Structure 1
Amino acid sequence: MDPAEVKALIENGLENADVKVFSDDNTHYAAVVIAAAFAGQRRIQRHQLVYRCLGSLMGNEIHAMSIRAHTPEEWRDLEQAS
């Protein structure tokens, strides 16, 4: 599955999310997801929201995914610290 397709699925499932998806082999992915929907949630809850967007593709077309999930405020702080 092309990273652009994975990106679109996450964007469709998380309102106003900024999503970047990378893959070298189209089965193992790394995603950076910035969304206000993550506010007040722990890391596992954020990952569950992303997995929900991908549904049954996880474990099938998508073998593995590394997720960095941040609120817009957290992302700004990370960028400023760089």
Structure 2
Amino acid sequence: MPMPLEVLEAELREAFPDAEIRVDDLAGDGDHYRARIVSTAFAGLPRVKQHQLVYAALKGKMGGELHALALETATPS
């Protein structure tokens, strides 16, 4: 079963309350998303660690309810 956009955004906002988050449904199927997350939580971390934080926030849904997530993470400028 696909993950609704609203659920994905809610999960990300819960994990990164200070973040600027933008999520786009790439295929209109609830399975393929792109997320841009700008958060102070990523400060000083390499890109791989930043992405691991995002996957951890999704609590194991990646690869199940959520098939594909293209990530762009950054810290505020």
Cα deviation 1:41-80 (Å, max 9, x = unaligned): 111000001001101211101001000001011xxxxxxx
The reply to whether residue 17 of structure 1 matches residue 22 of structure 2 is: no
Contact 1:4/1:21 (8 A) holds in 2: no
Q: Which runs of 5+ in 1 are unaligned?
A: 74-82
- By relative contact order (CA 8 Å, sep 6+), the higher-ranking structure is 2
Aligned match of 1:80: none
The one-letter code of the counterpart of 1:64 is A
Larger Rg computed on CA atoms: 1
Aligned equivalents of 1:22, 1:61: Cα separation in 2? 16
Structure 1 stretches of at least 4 aligned residues deviating more than 4 Å after TM superposition = none
- How many residues end up aligned between the 2 structures? 73
Q: What aligned pairs does 1:3-82 form with structure 2 within 5 A after superposition?
A: 3-23=5-25, 24-73=28-77
* TM-score, structure 2 as length reference: 0.88
The one-letter code of the counterpart of 2:62 is M
Q: Which runs of 5+ in 2 are unaligned?
A: none
Identical-residue share of aligned pairs (%): 36
